[in-house]
Amino acid sequence: MSDFLKIQGLQARIDADGTPKDILKGLDLEVPKGEVHVIMGPNGSGKSTLSYVLAGRDDYEVTGGSATFKGQDLLALEPEERAALGLFLAFQSPVELPGVNNANFLRTAVNAVRRARGEAELDAVAFLKAVRAETKHLSMSDDMLKRAVNVGFSGGEKKRNEVLQMRLLQPSFAILDETDSGLDIDALRIVAEGVNSLRSPDFSALVITHHQRLLDYIVPDRVHVMAHGRIIHSGGPDIAKTLEKQGYTQFLEAAA
Amino acid sequence: MPAVTETRETVEKLAKSSYEWGFETDIEMDIAPKGLSEETVRLISERKGEPQWMLEWRLKAFRAWLQMEEPGWAHIHHPPIDYQDAHYFAQPKKKPGPKSLDEVDPELLKTYAKLGIPLHEQALLAGVEGAEEQRLPVAVDAVFDSVSVATTFRKTLAEAGVIFCPISDAIREYPELVRKYLGTVVPIVDNFFAALNSAVFTDGSFVYIPEGVRCPMELSTYFRINARNTGQFERTLIIAEDRATVSYLEGCTAPQRDENQLHAAVVELIAMEDASIKYSTVQNWYPGDDEGRGGIYNFVTKRGICRGARSKISWTQVETGSAITWKYPSCVLAGEGSVGEFYSVAVTNNHQQADTGTKMIHLAPNTRSTIIAKTISAGHSDSTYRGLVRMQPKARNARNFTQCDSLLIGDQCGAHTVPYIESRNMTARVEHEATTSKISEDQLFYCRSRGLSEEDAVGLIVNGFCREVLKELPMEFAVEAQKLLQISLEGSVG
Ligand SMILES: Nc1ncnc2c1ncn2[C@@H]1O[C@H](COP(=O)(O)OP(=O)(O)OP(=O)(O)O)[C@@H](O)[C@H]1O
Ligand SMILES: [Mg+2]
């Protein structure tokens, strides 16, 4: 189905201390059902902005274009409605919630989403079982469940915690914003495995990364190059290798 | 639209949804006419069947009160209170009081059911998630208006030698104990509201834990104001003898009504050598409508004295109700090495005003105190934390640690921290930390992107903010307190 996630001419701006700043400038992108796509692009090109706009962060103002997900107007939904619909964003910088017990946070989130999807809520026992299976998978210590959400977590622990949330919330479309950054090589493999094992005809992902090496672990269906708020080039996994060797210059020149 | 604006609007919208527990129970009442005079004091004493010394004590208090003035220093504003425009005595007509739950007016039980108050042990012992530590069963002394009508668990307590009864029963049955301790921590003339309470108090609890006894259950009183325009004057006295331990829970809700209601309670705690008293409060009185009309005025004097060496008094409170709260649970640390603790969460919303805090008076060497105060303000509310730490000349090596954190929701509310530190001993050490924060857009968005509604997100963040205090509460109270926080900020947080 081609209109699983469909973005057309998307424009968005942010209020930067009183002056509006355009960041997305007519972005087109489609991610079909069951596919994993990668976005690469220079710092500041708007990759995180795209992920925030898709997830529903309201300090970005959408000034043009459209985004539909499963046939629905994504931009008209509240963030929690998007989550219920199956969208998940693994944050580039996960947010700390002081005093909020991680296990409690996860369970509240899982049950909120299950309720919205018309599924039965998990009781404490069922939830703990599910969570323990996942933490084991991701080589996370139980200690991280008892701590406050992301507070004092190392960079790598935060990223793993994002992947844990993704796996528990069972999205049909996940955006991973530089989830591989700051991971050691073992963690990288574990996280990649966390994504790969979700791959199915019913699961799609948009993976934002700066590192070609991630693509050794997660083999994408397509790679997009983003610059200045647009997708300027799309192709197969081999684009990433070209980028690694030659940088963005040739794509930027071709697009200019 | 920034989340705070939205939040404020939601608060305003939701505040209009009526107070969840604002209902009135239809029970026949025996009510004294409005007004306060020596006559009223005599009537109360007579209705309670009190001995002469008690009447004289009350009259002394009443005469002192006539000479006193309402304190004007708290950071709160209210129309003048007409002390003549209230009833000072009201009790359900059914007399004498029931001896067991079966005899209790079914209307009353229905009220408790509505409040979700668990009168039966089974309900109390029903598993609560996360209950890791071993929990004690709870004995409930329910105060309905001015008279305690149902007391459970009396037998188990009696076997342990613990006395837990309405204070009016104690005045008749244990006069020597009451006479020995009543007014020793909060003297009659301590302050305007304490004097008023001493003159007209109609009920409250009396707890006596004999030497070496660890009270076999949590003791719990649910307060509730039910008669229209009845001032509520509770008097609670708790005594823990050497090496005795007790945990006491106090909670309350009140029905919605139009006129402001005065509540002036006095609580006195006395801990002897190596004794420990833990006093926990979840307070949820009617805060008034969104303009603050009709809420409870809550002027409370709570004070404990650590008389014996190494004794400990710990106050934990979650305050979400009242139009006006004026309350400073305090510890007088008179025993060498004694410990005072104060853990507090105060939530204000709409037009609520709260002026709360604590006093830690260090009299003896090596005494220690800890103050953790969390303040959450939303809507147009205003909250002040006022804390006094006093190190007296003999308080060698005394220590205090104070932490005050404020969380603001929206930009129309206020939070103030007013620490008073008086140190008269060079070796004493006082530490004070304070923070003010807002719930950030980042935090809200993070939670919502995980499927939480904005309201649940705020609830979660607020509960996280209060964690250090909530974890001090006994388990069943902690669960109730979390619910209350959520309800009181409903929409506020929207
Ligand atoms: N709140 C803001 N105020 C001002 N400028 C902003 C704000 N948020 C984003 N920007 C700007 O928008 C542009 C795009 O930022 P974005 O975070 O989307 O880039 P990115 O492609 O994710 O970069 P990176 O690879 O470094 O993560 C940047 O120039 C950034 O400075
Ligand atoms: Mg980025």
3-class DSSP string for B281-322: EEEECCCCCCCCCCCEEEEEEEEEEECCCCCEEEEEEEECCC
Q: Measured in Å, how far apart are chain A's first and last C-alpha atoms? A: 32
Q: Could you tell me which of A171, A167, A203, A177 has the C-alpha nearest to residue A50?
A: A177
- Per-residue pLDDT reduced to its tens digit, B399-418: 999 999 999 887 888 888 88
Give the whole-angstrom CA distance, residue B42 versus residue B37: 9
CB-based contact B390:B359 (threshold 8 Å):
yes
Q: What are phi and psi of A41, to 5 degrees?
A: 175, 155
DSSP state of B214: B
Residue linked to tokens 């649970």: B329
The sign of the CA dihedral B311, B317, B322, B327 is: positive
Instruction: Report the share of chain B in percent with pLDDT over 70.
Output: 72
Q: For all residues of chain B together, what is the average pLDDT?
A: 78
> Per-residue pLDDT for B364 more than 60?
yes
Q: What is the pLDDT of residue B93?
A: 56
Q: Which residue has the higher pLDDT, A72 or B93?
A: A72
DSSP state of B79: P
> Per-residue pLDDT for B94 more than 90?
no
> Per-residue pLDDT for B227 more than 50?
no
> Per-residue pLDDT for B228 more than 50?
no
DSSP state of A119: P
Residue linked to tokens 């009510």: B31
- Per-residue pLDDT reduced to its tens digit, B21-46: 444 455 556 677 778 899 999 999 99
CB contact under 8 A, A80 and B448: yes
Tokens of B428: 């004493």
> Per-residue pLDDT for B223 more than 60?
no
CB-based contact A146:A101 (threshold 8 Å):
yes
Q: Which residue has the higher pLDDT, A73 or B134?
A: A73
Write out chain B residues lying below 8 Å of A108, CB-based: 452, 456, 460
CB neighbour list of residue A243: distance below 8 Å, 6 or more residues apart: A40, A212, A225, A251
Q: Which residue has the higher pLDDT, B319 or B117?
A: B319
Nearest Cα residue to atom 30 of ligand 1: A44
Nearest Cα residue to atom 1 of ligand 1: A16
CA-CA distances (angstroms) from residue B1 to A57, B252, B412, B438, B441? 11, 38, 16, 17, 11
Q: Which residue has the higher pLDDT, B371 or B228?
A: B371
The sign of the CA dihedral B24, B29, B35, B36 is: negative
- Per-residue pLDDT reduced to its tens digit, A32-60: 999 999 999 999 999 999 999 999 999 99
Mean of pLDDT values over B410-434: 90
Query: Packing angle between helix A155-169 and helix A102-116, nearest 10 degrees?
Result: 30
pLDDT band at B10 (very low <50, low <70, confident <90, very high): very low
- The amino acid at residue B323 is A
Q: Could you tell me which of B411, B255, B387 has the C-alpha nearest to residue B331?
A: B387
Residue A79 burial (C-beta neighbours within 10 Å; 0-12, 13-18, 19+)? buried
Q: Give kind and range of the element (H or E) at residue B477.
A: helix B475-488
How many helices and strands, by DSSP H and E, does chain B display? 13, 23
Supply the pTM of this predicted model: 0.79
CB contact under 8 A, B456 and A112: yes
Q: What is the pLDDT of residue B324?
A: 74
Mean of pLDDT values over A82-94: 97
> Per-residue pLDDT for A158 more than 60?
yes
Q: Could you tell me which of B406, B408, B463, B460 has the C-alpha nearest to residue B438?
A: B408
- The amino acid at residue B161 is G
Q: What is the pLDDT of residue A43?
A: 94
CB contact under 8 A, A113 and B466: no
The sign of the CA dihedral B434, B438, B441, B444 is: positive
Residue B9 burial (C-beta neighbours within 10 Å; 0-12, 13-18, 19+)? middle
Q: What are phi and psi of B167, to 5 degrees?
A: -65, -30
Give the whole-angstrom CA distance, residue B468 versus residue B479: 14
Instruction: Report every protein residue that has its C-beta within 5 angstroms of ion ligand 2.
Output: A 47-48, 92
CA A94 to centroid of ligand 2, rounded, Å: 12
Write out chain A residues lying below 8 Å of B468, CB-based: 99
Residue A156 burial (C-beta neighbours within 10 Å; 0-12, 13-18, 19+)? middle
> Per-residue pLDDT for A251 more than 60?
yes
Interface list for B 123-142 with A (CB within 8 A): 129-130
DSSP state of A244: H
Q: Could you tell me which of B374, B396, B386 has the C-alpha nearest to residue B461?
A: B374
Min Cα distance A99 → chain B (Å) is 4
Q: Does A124 touch chain B (CB under 8 A)?
A: yes
> Per-residue pLDDT for B321 more than 50?
yes
Which stretches within B28-153 are classed as H helix? 38-47, 52-66, 106-115, 121-125
CB neighbour list of residue B55: distance below 8 Å, 6 or more residues apart: B41, B42, B45
Min Cα distance B324 → chain A (Å) is 28
SS3 B271: strand
Q: Give kind and range of the element (H or E) at residue B13.
A: helix B3-15
CB-based contact A233:A31 (threshold 8 Å):
no
Q: From the CB of residue A109, how many other CB atoms can be counted at a distance below 10 Å? A: 24
DSSP state of B104: S
| Interface mutation target, options A54, A57, A96, A115, chain B, most CBs of B under 10 Å | A57
Q: Could you tell me which of B253, B292, B263 has the C-alpha nearest to residue B86?
A: B263
Min Cα distance B441 → chain A (Å) is 9
Q: What is the pLDDT of residue B244?
A: 98
- Ligand 1 lining (C-beta closer than 6 Å): A 14, 16, 21, 23, 41, 43-49, 92
> Per-residue pLDDT for A148 more than 90?
yes
Q: Does A60 touch chain B (CB under 8 A)?
A: no
**Shortest CB distance from A116 goes to which of B446, B451, B467?**
B451
Q: What is the pLDDT of residue B97?
A: 42
Residue B327 burial (C-beta neighbours within 10 Å; 0-12, 13-18, 19+)? buried
DSSP state of B230: B
Instruction: Report the share of chain B in percent with pLDDT over 90.
Output: 43
Q: Which residue has the higher pLDDT, B284 or B200?
A: B200
Q: Which atom of ligand 1 is nearest to the CA of A226?
A: 21
Q: Does B2 touch chain A (CB under 8 A)?
A: yes
B185-203: burial string, b at 16+ Cβ within 10 Å, e else: bbebbbbbbbbbbbbbbbb
CB-based contact B318:B488 (threshold 8 Å):
no
Q: Which atom of ligand 1 is nearest to the CA of A52?
A: 18
CA-CA distances (angstroms) from residue A66 to A45, A174, A203? 19, 19, 22
Mean of pLDDT values over B410-433: 90
CB contact under 8 A, B451 and A165: no
Q: What is the pLDDT of residue B3?
A: 35
> Per-residue pLDDT for B298 more than 90?
no
pLDDT band at B142 (very low <50, low <70, confident <90, very high): low
CA B33 to centroid of ligand 1, rounded, Å: 71
> Per-residue pLDDT for B119 more than 70?
no
Choose the residue to mutate in A49, A50, A177, A206 for probing ligand 1, maximizing ligand atoms within 8 Å of C-beta: A49
Mean of pLDDT values over B71-96: 69
Which stretches within A117-184 are classed as H helix? 124-137, 143-146, 155-169
List the domain boundaries for chain A.
5-97+172-255
Write out chain B residues lying below 8 Å of A78, CB-based: 448
Dihedral in degrees, nearest 10, Cα atoms B211, B212, B214, B219: 10
Q: What are phi and psi of A179, to 5 degrees?
A: -65, -20
Q: What is the pLDDT of residue B194?
A: 95
Residue of A nearest to B468 (CA): A99
- The count of CB pairs under 8 A between chains A and B is 84
> Per-residue pLDDT for A196 more than 50?
yes
Q: What is the pLDDT of residue B102?
A: 53
CB contact under 8 A, A98 and B3: no
CB neighbour list of residue B231: distance below 8 Å, 6 or more residues apart: B86, B87, B88, B200, B261, B262, B263, B264
Q: What are phi and psi of B342, to 5 degrees?
A: -140, 115
Tokens of B330: 């305090």
How many helices and strands, by DSSP H and E, does chain A display? 10, 12
Write out chain A residues lying below 8 Å of B464, CB-based: 97-101, 148
- Per-residue pLDDT reduced to its tens digit, B202-219: 878 899 999 999 998 888
Q: Does B1 touch chain A (CB under 8 A)?
A: yes
Strands B266-271 and B312-319 come out as unpaired
CA A54 to centroid of ligand 2, rounded, Å: 14
**Shortest CB distance from A84 goes to which of B442, B447, B451?**
B451
Q: What is the pLDDT of residue A245?
A: 84
Write out chain A residues lying below 8 Å of B469, CB-based: none
- The amino acid at residue A120 is A
Tokens of B326: 């004026």
Strands A72-73 and B368-377 come out as unpaired
What CATH number matches the domain at A5-97+172-255, 3.40.50.300, 3.40.1180.10, 3.40.30.10, 1.10.10.60?
A: 3.40.50.300
Nearest Cα residue to atom 25 of ligand 1: A43
Residue linked to tokens 């613990």: B162
Min Cα distance A250 → chain B (Å) is 36
> Per-residue pLDDT for B226 more than 70?
no
ipTM score here? 0.96
pLDDT band at B427 (very low <50, low <70, confident <90, very high): very high
